[in-house]
Amino acid sequence: MITLENIQEAAARIDGLVRHTPLVAASQIKSPITQADLALKLECLQVSGSFKARGAINKVMSLSEAERAKGLVAASGGNHGLAVARCGFVLGVPATIFLPNSVAPEKVAKMEAWGARAVVGGDDFDHCNKLARGMAERGEATYVHPFADPYVVAGNATAALEMWTARPETETVIIAAGGGGFITGAGTAIKALNPTIRVIGVEPVGSPTLHASLAAGEVVELPRITSAIPTMSCRRTDDALFAQMRTVVDDVVLIEDEDMAKAARWLWFEMGIAADAAGSAAVAALMSGAYVARPGEKITLPVCGAGLPA
């Protein structure tokens, strides 16, 4: 689906349109959660509040003038919607975002502050995605998929390029997974740069899309989602995306929603980092023991989305 060259091209295309976020050591901690050597890539400081800004702007900058002029439409659990709303603001075109009922109200408010029309009312992402695609198929706007688009995947993966450049000695990368786009792109970049680095995905117990698909050896559509985390809830990943993901992801571990809430509180108390549930998921994998690190293991992970700890 994408290559390291595609990701490097995306980095050049979006240079100056997004932030180069810092990588910080998880040091001077009162209550350590691991004996690993841990570093955090603060994508929660990215413009619009998450790494999603990278993929959205890369996709939008690849569109024709006619496609941009029609305006933008997307479905989202929150963060991709914010990124597309920001793209609409930058381009001066309308943006419509379809969102599930579980979306965080503050994210809706931020989308509207960017000038987007936020339509809340879907049962889940898949329901919202049908509404967004329908609007695009009627010719009313240009559709921007949150994970099954090569430009979005390549753009989001530029965060992994920055992670590796800042810390090439990394041994393991832990990444929150929803539809699978970010971890596939990041894994592609990381494995191309150093195939010995382990790439570990994290999903909610109540939305184990990738975990179930890897176990089955094919894409599995979940009969239902019980996780309350909209940015990590997806009933089915994309077939082409999964074919590439399974070649670059070493394992996917599962955590409870409450594990993410605890991790978000830990990030705020220990480091003053305001992260949403998905942004805290990789930390939660360490705190909960879903991923057991060896002492001194050099682990790098993105805090991939901003939010207020519950």
- State pLDDT tens for residues 34-85: 999 999 999 999 999 999 999 999 999 999 999 999 999 999 999 999 999 9
DSSP for the chain, written as a single string:
---HHHHHHHHHHHTTTS----EEE--S-SS-S-SSEEEEE-GGGSGGGBTHHHHHHHHHHHS-HHHHHT-EEEE-SSHHHHHHHHHHHHHT--EEEEEETTS-HHHHHHHHHTT-EEEEEESSHHHHHHHHHHHHHTTSSEE--SSS-HHHHHHHTHHHHHHHHH-TT--EEEEE-SSSHHHHHHHHHHHHH-TTSEEEEEEETT--HHHHHHHHTS----S----S-GGG--S---HHHHHHHHHH--EEEEE-HHHHHHHHHHHHHHH---B-HHHHHHHHHHHHTSS-PPTT-EEEEE--BB----
Pairing of strands 37-41, 23-25: antiparallel
Average of per-residue pLDDT values in the chain: 96
Percent of the chain with pLDDT over 70: 100
Beta strands 198-204 and 251-255, pairing class: parallel
Which tokens sit at 223? 């009969």
- Phi first, then psi: give them for residue 291, nearest 5 degrees: -115, 120
Residues of the chain with CATH 3.40.50.1100: 4-50+151-302, 53-147
pLDDT bin (cut points 50, 70, 90) of residue 124 is: confident
Global pTM reads 0.94
Give phi and psi for 250, each to the nearest 5: -85, -35
The pLDDT value recorded for residue 122 is 80
Question: Which tokens go with 260?
Answer: 């993410």
Output the six-digit token pair for 135: 């609007």
Higher pLDDT, 124 or 219: 219
pLDDT of 293-309, one tens digit each? 999 999 999 999 999 87
Residues paired with 38 in a beta bridge: 299
Q: Could you tell me the CA-to-CA distances from 207 to 31, 166, 187, 237, 253 in Å, in that order?
A: 29, 32, 21, 11, 12
CB atoms within 10 A of CB 133: 15
Q: If one looks up domain 53-147 in CATH, what number appears? A: 3.40.50.1100
The predicted-structure confidence for 146-199, as pLDDT tens digits, reads as follows 999 999 999 999 999 999 999 999 999 999 999 999 999 999 999 999 999 999
CB 74 within 8 A of CB 84: yes
The position carrying tokens 């805290």 is 280
Q: Would you say 10 and 273 are in contact if contact means Cβ atoms under 8 Å apart?
A: no
The CATH T-level fold of domain 4-50+151-302 is Rossmann fold (3.40.50)
